[in-house]
Amino acid sequence: MEKVSALADFQQKATGHDKVFLLLYKAGNEQSLCAYSNLDSVVNQEPNIPVFSADVAEVRDIHPHFGITSAPTLLVFENGQYVNAIKGCQESSYYKALMESAIYQAKAKAEGKTVKRVTVYSTPTCTWCNTLKTWLHKNNIPYTDVDVSRDQHAAEDLVRRTGQQGVPQTDINGQIVVGFNQARLKELLEI
Q: Is 140 left (phi over 0), alpha (psi -120 to 50) or beta?
A: left
In the sheet with 118-122, reading across from the earlier edge strand, the strands are 144-147, 118-122, 169-172, 175-178
Q: pLDDT-based confidence at 142, cuts 50/70/90?
A: confident
| C-beta of residue 23 within 8 angstroms of C-beta of residue 54 | yes
Domain match, 152 and 123 both: yes
* Mean pLDDT confidence for 5-22: 93
Structural domain for 37, as ranges: 2-110
What values do phi and psi take at 82, rounded to 5? Answer: -70, 120
Domain match, 102 and 129 both: no
Mapping DSSP to helix (H, G, I), strand (E, B) and coil, where does residue 84 land? strand
Domain match, 138 and 94 both: no
Output the domain CATH number for residue 142: 3.40.30.10
* This prediction's pTM: 0.63
Residue 76 neighbours by CB distance under 10 Å: 16
Q: pLDDT-based confidence at 100, cuts 50/70/90?
A: confident
Domain match, 182 and 105 both: no
User: Hey, which residues does 122 pair with through a beta bridge?
Assistant: 147
Domain match, 7 and 97 both: yes
Domain match, 28 and 101 both: yes
Give how many domains the chain has, as a whole number.
2
Domain match, 93 and 153 both: no
**Where a domain ends, among 110, 132, 165?**
110
DSSP states of 47-66: TTS-EEEEETTT--SHHHHT
Q: How far apart are CA 43 and CA 9, in angstroms?
A: 20
